[in-house]
Amino acid sequence: MAVKVSGTTVIDDSRGLTNIVNVAANGTISFNNIAYPTTDGSDGEALVTDGLGNLSFASAGVTTGKAIAMAIVFG
């Protein structure tokens, strides 16, 4: 794969793709035009999506009890 950097944009020449990864001057990082949060989540949070390409940190919806039950069922 041939990759080059043009300013803050990484370009994959071998596939003809552009704007794969972009790092803006304010520190925002995006991948395929999906922006990642610029702050850390809190303890117990995970990176989640609303299904529309918006990412944020929120509760992953897995409690300790659910995690233990899943470990028992799925090994």
Reading the chain (75 residues) residue by residue, the pLDDT tens digits are 555 655 666 666 566 665 567 777 777 888 777 888 888 888 888 888 888 888 888 887 666 666 677 678 776
Q: Is 72 left (phi over 0), alpha (psi -120 to 50) or beta?
A: alpha
Q: Is 43 in the same domain as 74?
A: yes
In angstroms, how far is CA 6 from the centroid of its own chain? 22
Do 58 and 28 reside in the same domain of the chain? no
Range of the domain at 16: 1-36
Report the domain count for the chain. 2
Which residues contact residue 65 at a Cβ distance below 8 angstroms, ignoring those fewer than 6 apart?
none
pLDDT value at residue 43: 84
Neighbours of 4 (CB within 10 A): 9
Q: Do the beta carbons of residue 17 and residue 2 sit within 8 Å?
A: no
